[in-house]
A and B are shown apart, each in its own frame.
Chain A
Amino acid sequence: MAPRSIWNGTITFGLVNVPIKLYSATESKTVHFHEVHLRDGAQIEYRRFCSKEDKEVEYKDVVKGYEVSEGTYVVLEKDEVKAAAGDRGKVVHLTEFVPAAQIDPVFYEKTYYVGSGEAKDAYRLLHEALRRSGRAGIGRFTFHDREYLVAVRALDDVLALHTLRFHDEVVSGDELEIEPGSRRPSRQELQMADRLIDALQEDFDPSKYEDSYREAVLDLIKRKGKGEEIDLAEQEEPAHGDDLMAALEASLGSR
């Protein structure tokens, strides 16, 4: 069954218009709980209260305000927030292309799959051209009244649209002020570390990594569901020694 699209629009590169549909490419599998009252197991619900009157407030009497200074708010109507979305509508203009490999992982935010709309030939052509050139098209995308910077690239047989962080949203290493330490690692230590990296080198295979914590939580729920007593065991911390060389040697020796 075809998945449900979440946005229909057009990607353009120059005068070529490619009608497209967007699909979620990712989903969180985190175990979600409801909040309940410990005493009686009843659901917890959240109610809105006016902090001044100490009275419950209905949702229709709630507005959104931006705090310009302590306690002073500028209230925006829904339509006014919409005005910030700009006039781009449902179009993503790819205005320039960059080598996809140059985009540092730190910029990638969220990924969507791009499927074809009508005019499937144009979709196929864009996919093939991006795949062959190894480039990503850069453009802007308006979704739920918010504009994003995006990169569109070929991912296997489909196109992917990645929302990107803006440069000022990314913290640079220079801002960290890390102490350099008085003694640099010795050449011998570096060589040992190199050998250790080589020994642990492998191809990237995401299927090797399972969320064992999620499994453990689900298992806990099942055991609790059967009425089992849960053992609240203590955790142990790894020791860390100061002898780098000995630790490196021992690591290599144990392989």
Chain B
Amino acid sequence: MNIALIAGMTFLGALGGFWFKKVSRVTKPVQKLFRFLLGCVFYGLAAILNIIVLHHMPYTIVFPLTAITYVWTFLLSFFILGEKLNGYKLAGLGCILIGTFVLVH
């Protein structure tokens, strides 16, 4: 149950960021606003889930687990935004995941 909550929370967080990124890819203000608000919905849902999770699990465990968000970020970047991934980016993500794991163990 906690794993599903964490997976859902992190995916929503990444989707929020994804739509914030998509704001920069259009120039019309209406389009920008629409994408920003869409991002806010996902980001807000992630935040609410975060608060709920924080009431069930310790801050020091929940906060680092949110790093899984960036695994989703890489998947969205690569498969949808068409961004290139390279060794430095993967090393960066790896360090962030390891660093957050070390933080709590």
Q: Do A and B come from one complex?
A: no
A: which residues have CB within 8 A of B?
none
B: which residues have CB within 8 A of A?
none
